[in-house]
Amino acid sequence: MPHYLTVEQLIAALQGLDPHLRVRLAVNPDWPYAHFVSTDVVVHDGIAYIGEDGQDHYLPPAVTEHLAWA
């Protein structure tokens, strides 16, 4: 995916997935944690910011490897 992701590209990336899957953000390779995704979305200066809603747990090793963080 491109560095500057658009809403259209994010929707396209998620479209084929089971709509009942839980969603987490994978954050920071130095501290590989999963974070809950908030329903808060703020648009400012042409950018949509999706809020983080708390930390869940360490990322599974398979995820950090797939993201090339391991």
Residue 9 lies inside a defined structural domain of this protein: no
* Alpha-carbon span 25 to 55, nearest angstrom: 9
pLDDT tens string for the chain (70 positions)? 557 888 999 999 899 999 999 999 988 888 899 999 999 999 999 889 999 999 999 999 999 999 998 6
Residue 7 lies inside a defined structural domain of this protein: no
Conformational region of residue 3, where left means phi above 0, alpha means psi within -120 to 50, and beta covers everything else: alpha
* pLDDT at position 50: 92
Domain count, the chain: 1
> Which residue segment(s) compose the domain that 32 sits in?
22-66
* pLDDT at position 37: 93
Residue 30 lies inside a defined structural domain of this protein: yes
The model's pTM = 0.78
* pLDDT at position 30: 87
